[in-house]
A = this chain, B = another copy of it.
Amino acid sequence: ERNGFPEVIFSMGKTPEQVASIMNTIYKHSPIVLATRATQEHYKAVQELNPEAMYHAIAGCITLGSPSTALRPYKVSIVAAGTSDIPVAEEAVVTLDAIGITTERVYDVGVAGIHRLFAHIESLRQAQVVIVIAGMEGALPSVVGGLVSCPVIAVPTSVGYGAHFQGLAPLLTMLNSCASGITVVNIDNGFGAAIAAGNICKAIHNFTD
């Protein structure tokens, strides 16, 4: 891909055979290939063609190959509010792993457990980018944005019910955040947040080169 990142297949709506064949083709000329939104069935088909493929079950991702090490010095922290937000967070982690960026997981630190967040502040402040993932009312990015001064990328999730409208509530919360400078990606789009974070790390890398 244009920016040196792994090529990525969006598996939703593709048959296991289609995903397996596309990954196999790309893998011939790429050191690493990633498939997101992949099921166990997708994985089985991929594994048949490429037995070394790995399945990241919680993230719903398949990877083939190993990442470049160029961006290893940069760290992205992935902060997730609740247990149910972890699959989205893991999609971000696996994507960043495939890019070759160092990741830090800070999970289960939502409003109910905000003291747990405070225990990680020093570590968060050493990250180049913080990705914050939250469902329900989606207030966590505002809180994190008030604690760190690096770029913060917010990911609303579809975790909630009733007047949550499948993620609309936290999406609007994040777009209207008082903590200025927060940017937002689509509902449940852990992948997109990881690519955005990757682009920032690359911008640092390119400038210092």
Contact = CB atoms under 8 A, between A and B. Distances in A.
A178 B84 contact: no
A38 to B, nearest CB: 14
B202 A203 contact: no
A198 B160 CA distance: 23
A184 B187 contact: no
Nearest to A192: B180
Interface residues of A, number: 77
A152 B148 CA distance: 21
A112 B178 contact: yes
Given A168-B172, A187-B161, A207-B204, A199 B151 contact: yes
A87 B199 CA distance: 27
A184 B153 CA distance: 9
26 contacts: A2-B149, A8-B180, A12-B84, A13-B84, A14-B83, A111-B177, A114-B146, A128-B207, A137-B174, A137-B175, A137-B178, A143-B143, A150-B203, A150-B206, A151-B196, A152-B199, A162-B187, A162-B189, A169-B172, A169-B175, A172-B172, A180-B191, A181-B192, A183-B183, A200-B203, A204-B208
